[in-house]
Chain A
Amino acid sequence: MKKLNRRSFIKGGLATTAAAMVVKEKTSAASGDFDNYPEGMGVIVDLTRCVGCRSCEAACNKEQDLPEPAVPFDDFSVFDHMHHGEKRRTDETAYTVVNRYDTPEIDHPLFRKIQCNHCNEPACLTSCFVNAYTKTPEGAVIYNAKVCVGCRTCMVACPFYIPTFKYSSAFTPRIMKCIFCYDTRLKNGQPPACVEACPQEALTFGRRKDVLKIGKQRIRETPGKYVDHIYGEHEVGGTAWMYLSSVPFDKVGFDTHVPKEPIINSVKEFLAMVPMVLTIWPGLFVGFHLLATRKDKVKEMEKEAELKKAKENDEKEEQV
């Protein structure tokens, strides 16, 4: 086996870093100082309205042609099921799930629907090195299975743990996640199936800027009903799906520690170094190499010159 010395270790490390950065640079250019799509659509989810009827789950299942559920959608025992101490999550059979939260603050349970929040600057998109994700002007974050290589980096990158992997088809990689009904509805200006199905209008659809206004109006005009915060207005740089709640958001399963700026901002500085590294480093190190080896060359030339001189001297002496 080849011995791994310091030089070869550094060489390998540099090469890998450079390769990784070449790939990342592309996505950073696409979403660098992205000013969002002002006409993008959004949904505001009002937890005070949801009654946990699971109509949204049923509608999503049919619209997206997902597999038959394990139990009927009108079976409410699912709210008591825990997987490894965790409430239900999206998986390859469900793009959206509703969970029940019993909070001491109020005398009735609250229900929270989860699905892809369709970030303004999606971390899944940023992390994907084959550009399988697209943020459409309509506001949806869609996914292209044709280019996906199944690395599942998006699953790690997502701050909301939403994309899931279809383990049943590992050889034709497929990420399963809510696409805002983009193909069948959103691009025609229609609301997603879950919104249309909701009897309580707990889901309000419209342009993101408009539903944000609606959320603020509800907070202002019904004092005491809501906490004065819209989850998703600023979280991870803003999301198309946002939430209103009557109790603090951390009491109903929300991660309130996510940054208030896009995930990409935490890697932006690093990404900005990429062009510098790629353009300056090669010249710089070639220069170092030449400098370092120049002495040897000069020495060699001097030696040759000396040898030549000596030879000439010898020849002269012979002639004499």
Chain B
Amino acid sequence: MLRRKTIMRTALALTTGAILFAPGQLLSMEAEDAPETVTIDSLASLYEPVEFNHLMHVDYASCAECHHHTTGVKVADPNCIRCHANTPEGDDVTCVGCHEADRFGKKYLAELDNPVLYHIDKPGLKGAYHLNCIGCHQIIDGPTGCTDCHAMTEAGEKRFNTGEYAPKGGAVSESHH
């Protein structure tokens, strides 16, 4: 286990080195700066928090694939380049820095009144997590089931009528027309 970790660390260091010496990427954050795990718990209620293995995911995706332009990597998406080719990169690398937990609140509805606002369709925090994670997992055959990433809490079982709260039979059938 330890050996594997050492190997991965070395690989990471090498990758980071390569990125550092690539021209035009001198402002990039280093993957090594990132925490090994991130506990994603700010929205947890129906499901337990997710212990996100950040270190492992570094092997599967570049920083920008999840963090967009917030890690100092130059903007590559032709659509984003239109405005963000030379704008200073975002200085907040966290998801919640841009993606609101209160997705459809009053603030969002007020923002939409701004006629020059381009980002009218920015996902909320929950959407950002799931669209990013599941979107990629579908492509590379990663886990996509709800409880593959986070176990259901008791509140969740109540909501979904499952586990302890599963229907005890004789429930109203769905066959009415």
Contacts and interface: CB of A to CB of B under 8 A. Distances in A.
A69 interface: yes
B173 A189 contact: no
A204 B138 CA distance: 22
Interface string A47-79: 001010110001101100001111111110000
Contact of A200 (B109, B127, B171): B127
B160 A73 contact: yes
A74 B177 contact: no
Interface in B135-177: 138, 144, 146-147, 152, 159-162, 166-167, 171-177
Contact of A62 (B109, B124, B147, B159): B159
Interface in A164-223: 164, 167-168, 189-191, 195-196, 198-201, 204-207, 210, 213-214, 217-218, 221
Given A51-B144, A214-B120, A221-B79, A201 B175 contact: no
B176 A206 contact: no
A83 B177 CA distance: 9
Nearest to B166: A72
B160 A74 contact: yes
Contact of B174 (A72, A88, A196): A88
Given A53-B146, A207-B109, A218-B121, A201 B126 contact: yes
A313 B167 CA distance: 103
Contacts of B146: 53, 74, 199
B123 interface: yes
A85 B26 CA distance: 62
Identify whether the interface residues of B are mostly helix, strand, loop, or mixed.
loop
Nearest to B126: A199
A6 interface: no
Contacts of B79: 221
Nearest to A221: B79
Given A72-B166, A108-B138, A204-B121, A210 B176 contact: no
A206 B130 contact: no
Given A58-B160, A168-B172, A198-B127, 4 more contacts: A74-B146, A93-B172, A206-B108, A210-B120
Interface of B: 79, 103-104, 106, 108-109, 112, 120-121, 123-124, 126-127, 129-131, 134, 138, 144, 146-147, 152, 159-162, 166-167, 171-177
20 contacts: A51-B134, A58-B161, A68-B167, A68-B172, A69-B174, A70-B167, A72-B162, A72-B167, A74-B160, A74-B162, A88-B174, A91-B176, A189-B106, A195-B104, A200-B127, A201-B124, A201-B130, A214-B120, A217-B120, A218-B121
Interface of A: 49, 51, 53-54, 58-59, 61-62, 67-75, 83, 88-89, 91-94, 108, 164, 167-168, 189-191, 195-196, 198-201, 204-207, 210, 213-214, 217-218, 221
